[in-house]
Amino acid sequence: MIVAQATDIHAGIDNDNFLRFEKAVAWLGELRPDYVVISGDLVDDGWIEGHNRLGKMLKRLPFRTFVIPGNSDDKNAMRSALPGFIGSNVAGPLHFTEYCDDVLLLGLDATVDGAAYGDVTDHLPWLRRKPEAFPIGTAMLFIHHHIFPSGIRLIDEVMCRGIDELAELLELHGHRREREKPGGHAARFSFAFLSRPSATAART
């Protein structure tokens, strides 16, 4: 099974990032993944029309796609423009869960209203129930904010908080942290937590 991840499109009125993303989508069409996860920062400056444009684009994709928000996204705009690609259309975090062929995909919305950093602390009860429901196979956890220090001070000031508690929770279920996989926000790390049997992903 192939799971592809795209992140940090940062589309705006004054840039060509949608064109760049369309080229990436064309490449994904050749790869033919089973799932695509877009892990936040879809647009810049709360560009509402950008969410609408992305929703129209995603409807044309031939593979199952999920989206979680980043700190630059408007959740209400996402609920309106991306109802088939987010975990919930009601108020609250936009988590998602998908289970297929012994692989559990989890998208965790760690955004904090009005803040650039992320925080998983309040969402650990939600996450705690998932490995108990699907105890066998591989689990992949997607979060917008990076969870490993990048060494870049300004970026690390907005990294995800509550990571020690998250690691303790996952280790209780036999999961281990995987580093150096495609990710979001800092774009140098990812947030996949893989259980036994382990899996690897090519880095792009």
Q: Look up the CATH number of domain 3-194.
A: 3.60.21.10
Quickly state the pLDDT bin for 200 (edges 50, 70, 90).
very low
Quickly state the pLDDT bin for 18 (edges 50, 70, 90).
very high
From 143, 139, 49, 149, select the one nearest 102 (Cα to Cα). Answer: 139
> Half-sphere exposure of 173 toward its Cβ, with a 13 Å CA cutoff?
22
Entry pTM = 0.82
Residue spans of the domains in the chain: they are: 3-194
SS3 percent helix, strand, coil of the chain, rounded to 5, is 30, 20, 50
